[in-house]
Amino acid sequence: MREPGNLRLFKRGPSIEVRLVLLLVLCMGLIITDAHWSVLRPVRQALSVAVYPFQQFVMAPRQALEYVNSWSHAAALAREEQDALRRQQIEMAQLVTHAAQLTTENEQLRRLLTISESITQSSVAVEVFYEPPNAFSHRLIFNKGTDAGIQPGMPVIDEGGVVGQIVRVTPYTSEAALLIDDQVSIPVQVLRNGLRLIAFGSDEVGKLEVRYLTASMDVQPGDTLVTSGIGGLFPAGLSVARVDTVDRDPGTGFAMAIAEPLSHPERYRHFLVLRVDVSKIPQSEELEHALAQP
């Protein structure tokens, strides 16, 4: 029969305070030993190698998030740079186009200045304000009017020759009918032989007609037509057109010449208006009224 004794329910050992002190002493000893000697270096390296996979596993989500953020930032930066390059390319193209346009206009203004110096009449430089929306209307609207001394009946020229004639003015704008307008007529003469004729606007696009030619009139394809100066509206010697064809009708004995204007109003924006004295020209009011009809 077993002898009665004390029942031990819990295993006794050192207290928690004792354990804490022992661990602190152990840690201090390890720190001092690691700081002054390299005895624990192999142990530390072995522990770091063993812990490295767990470190990588724990750091994997953070690294993945940083990679995604850096990739999205790089993509956004690349798009911004691409958009900036596209804007810069468009701006450079506009600058190049504007510079080319300014160069062309500058060259034309120099030619107009040379022409204005070579003619005796005073002139006014005008710029095309707009063109009438009607595609069948051979008219131009300029940015100067009576305030600049422009009056109906004054001729309009460019470096190629006669462009047309002013038909309507306001204080700040003026309207010109081009040579090819069917309501415009201009006294001309053949430069080769001095034959005086009348040129009219044609139904054929971009052409002039020289009508009422008799069989004896010496007009040939290639002849240059210049203003004759008759009537006083157009000074003599201005280039007008070059004869393309001469259609002769043996039945009637008359002929008609088709000529192409030497001026190019569709290419340029600046022209010269010759300030001739329309008040002293005979029948100038009748001519103005006829040209101003729509």
Angstrom distance (rounded) from CA 139 to CA 133: 10
Strands (E), the chain: 123-130, 139-142, 155-158, 161-169, 174-178, 185-190, 196-201, 208-214, 224-227, 239-249, 254-261, 270-274
- HSE-up (13 A, CA, CB side) for residue 176: 29
- Structural domains in the chain? 16-92 (no CATH), 123-291 (2.40.10.350)
Instruction: Profile the chain (294 residues) by mean pLDDT over runs of 10 residues.
Output: 54 76 84 73 77 81 84 84 78 71 69 65 86 77 91 88 91 91 87 90 84 85 90 84 88 86 86 82 45 42
Cβ atoms within 10 Å, residue 25: 10
- HSE-up (13 A, CA, CB side) for residue 86: 6
Q: Give the pLDDT of residue 145.
A: 92
Q: Give the pLDDT of residue 225.
A: 93
Q: Give the pLDDT of residue 12.
A: 64
Q: Give the pLDDT of residue 10.
A: 55
Angstrom distance (rounded) from CA 264 to CA 247: 25
Q: Give the pLDDT of residue 98.
A: 67
Angstrom distance (rounded) from CA 272 to CA 238: 13
Partners of 182 in the β-ladder: none
SS3 category, 164: strand
